[in-house]
Structure 1
């Protein structure tokens, strides 16, 4: 279906759906500073063709959804959690399979812990434990040196109104976070161009999620998750190295862990869809058995 605008609390979110609304619903939860286009259309269609009703949307400050001045987000990280629940309400979906990447994986964990009745299953991709971890848990590995350098001494932002410079920067950032199995330059550039052209305020989209206040935190722990859970994690993730995914799978009761060879900190690239799509279809089955 074409994109549509949906009112959720004090925001308007841009939403697109695939497949039959009567099928089990999958809500795709995106990472920081990334519009819904990062969930590739063909990836969404593959899930829909397997009998799932797929929903992707632009978070606040991405794509066509409500945006705020760059550097002045009028919401917190908790708002992005309530937005996901409010969107399900607006679409008439009582219970959904949540598939979240990076920041979206943190949102999915929080909903799974605090609102278990809304969650049919969880798929956590390239993410890290969101709640406090058990006493004595092994420390999580730090980001790789290139990522620490990126955040420790960041490259000056381009003029985000300069279309060519902004697209070049996004392509470069995708390569920095990617693994040896990632989007080729042509596909990355096409994605960055599409995102730029449909984003209301690109400066806000590349700024505001990184400076959000977190809110009160998650009320519970990974051991409280009762939904069937699939953990997908790139073996070359430089931001949340593989140990983050292994910790999730170890600390969530009954979770299944599937490594993605060569993948970095990124949405699953097409090369690993033959692994990712069947795994998601399995965990989102009627009984949630992986």
Structure 2
């Protein structure tokens, strides 16, 4: 896939790796990836579909992933606001004042933060397989992990299959590159769910590239720590969002079940919800990237 521009940009003291595709004269779609995943977590097929539809696309490696700099989290902890600041730095580096912002999973929370706190930078908002940025998942996870029945007041916890996998992968040895890659592929397989076929080859490419390009692959786990920090800026009501909003969610998401996406759509005035039958918590199924890209094209037209 042809890249018009690929470069490091600066966000504070960090260097972030970025890629731009398409005609620089076309409207910009900024893609913000999820937890522990670099820019290529947005599949080339999805990017190509957006470019063919007349969009300029920018994707980037979060701090602690891919070619971007890694952080000593204990010495310099960061929050969702800092990840959002990185996204703004990417736009600034390309001279983009306003972009259509699409975020997946944790990236969806980053996108919500931008729409609330930096509305002048967000032409439209697309939130994919995500949850309200101020939602506290901790109590629901705690009940699920201790075998208690879900509290109907909580958004639902992950599916039992994902929780079982999480317990297995945290205790399995991951000392070598091969063990880390195998664990990563296994995690993506579970996140894909059972309804749609799993593209293992694409998953292996993504996991291998993510591992090999990073100067410290273990640093990607810092995203979990940042994601759990429910700072006051995350609790601002989503009703403050003025940007036209599309929420895309899969019917078979094992990490953030469908009610999470429905809660985002319900909280944002005039948001439109689009469900994708069978989609789990990844883009790693044949034809799925194109299925996700098409509603983004319609929304950003």
- TM-score, length-normalised on structure 2? 0.85
- Alignment correspondent of 1:244: 260
What is the total number of aligned residue pairs between the two structures?
280
CA separation of 1:271 and 1:232: change in aligned 2, threshold 3 A = same
- TM-score, length-normalised on structure 1? 0.88
Asked whether the equivalents of residues 260 and 272 of structure 1 are also in contact (C-alpha less than 8 Å), the reply is: no
Asked whether the equivalents of residues 165 and 190 of structure 2 are also in contact (C-alpha less than 8 Å), the reply is: no
What whole-Å deviation, never above 9, does each CA across 1:103-149 have from its counterpart, x for those lacking one? 0000001111111111111111100011369xxx9642222123334
Moved more, 89-98 or 267-276: 267-276
- Alignment correspondent of 1:57: 60
The alignment partner of 2:233 has SS state of coil
- After superposition, residues 80-99 of structure 1 pair within 5 angstroms as 80-99=83-102
Deviation at 1:71, TM superposition (A): 6.3
- After superposition, residues 203-222 of structure 1 pair within 5 angstroms as 203-205=218-220, 207-212=221-226, 214=229, 215-218=231-234, 220-222=236-238
Question: Could you tell me how far apart the structure 1 residues matched to 2:280 and 2:45 are?
Answer: 20
What whole-Å deviation, never above 9, does each CA across 1:218-257 have from its counterpart, x for those lacking one? 2621211111111110111011101111122222111111
Question: Could you tell me how far apart the structure 1 residues matched to 2:78 and 2:264 are?
Answer: 27
Deviation at 1:270, TM superposition (A): 3.8
Deviation at 1:28, TM superposition (A): 0.5
- After superposition, residues 107-256 of structure 1 pair within 5 angstroms as 107-131=110-134, 139-151=154-166, 155-156=170-171, 158-159=173-174, 162-179=176-193, 180-205=195-220, 207-212=221-226, 214=229, 215-218=231-234, 220-256=236-272
Runs (5+) with no aligned partner, structure 2: 137-151
What whole-Å deviation, never above 9, does each CA across 1:191-228 have from its counterpart, x for those lacking one? 222222222211112x2111226243326212111111
CA separation of 1:100 and 1:51: change in aligned 2, threshold 3 A = same
The alignment partner of 1:173 has SS state of helix
- Alignment correspondent of 1:288: none
Asked whether the equivalents of residues 158 and 169 of structure 1 are also in contact (C-alpha less than 8 Å), the reply is: no
Question: Could you tell me how far apart the structure 2 residues matched to 1:70 and 1:146 are?
Answer: 30
Question: Could you tell me how far apart the structure 1 residues matched to 2:183 and 2:268 are?
Answer: 36
- Alignment correspondent of 1:32: 35
Question: Could you tell me how far apart the structure 2 residues matched to 1:192 and 1:201 are?
Answer: 14
Given candidates 289, 292, 295, the residue that maps to 1:276 is 292
Q: Determine whether 1:262 maps to 2:265.
A: no
Asked whether the equivalents of residues 30 and 102 of structure 1 are also in contact (C-alpha less than 8 Å), the reply is: yes
Moved more, 6-15 or 175-184: 175-184
Asked whether the equivalents of residues 6 and 87 of structure 1 are also in contact (C-alpha less than 8 Å), the reply is: yes
Question: Could you tell me how far apart the structure 2 residues matched to 1:183 and 1:3 are?
Answer: 30
Higher helix share: 2
Deviation at 1:183, TM superposition (A): 3.2
